Homo-oligomer: A and B are copies of this chain.
Amino acid sequence: MVITLFRLSIPPEQEQFLEEKFINRSRLVDQVKGFISFKLLKKTQNENGLEYILMTEWETEEDYKNWLNSQDHARIHKKEGAPFSGNKTELFQVVCQ
């Protein structure tokens, strides 16, 4: 299993916009081979603006990379926007549970 973390900070006035964007996400990724879960995480103690993490779980790194390079991924991000594309996604293996 692998987990991706994508960290982003926003100014407080974008809080509702950001959360509604993900609450109302298309859920197309949920059907992709190897996809396990998506979570929007909000830091409880914020020092600089509001901090979030987009977290996804995948069966294998290959499944995640196939999704990343797929036409569906490009289509969804074109349709829904990718306003946080300046940040970098971190990829982790699950060593044990």
Contact = CB atoms under 8 A, between A and B. Distances in A.
B96 A43 contact: no
Contacts of A41: 3, 92-95
Contacts of A52: 95
Contacts of A42: 92-93, 95
B44 A97 contact: no
A94 B19 CA distance: 11
A42 B22 CA distance: 26
Interface of A: 2-3, 5, 19, 22-23, 37-45, 52-53, 55, 61, 90-97
13 contacts: A3-B41, A3-B55, A19-B96, A23-B96, A37-B97, A39-B96, A39-B97, A41-B95, A42-B92, A42-B95, A43-B90, A43-B92, A45-B91
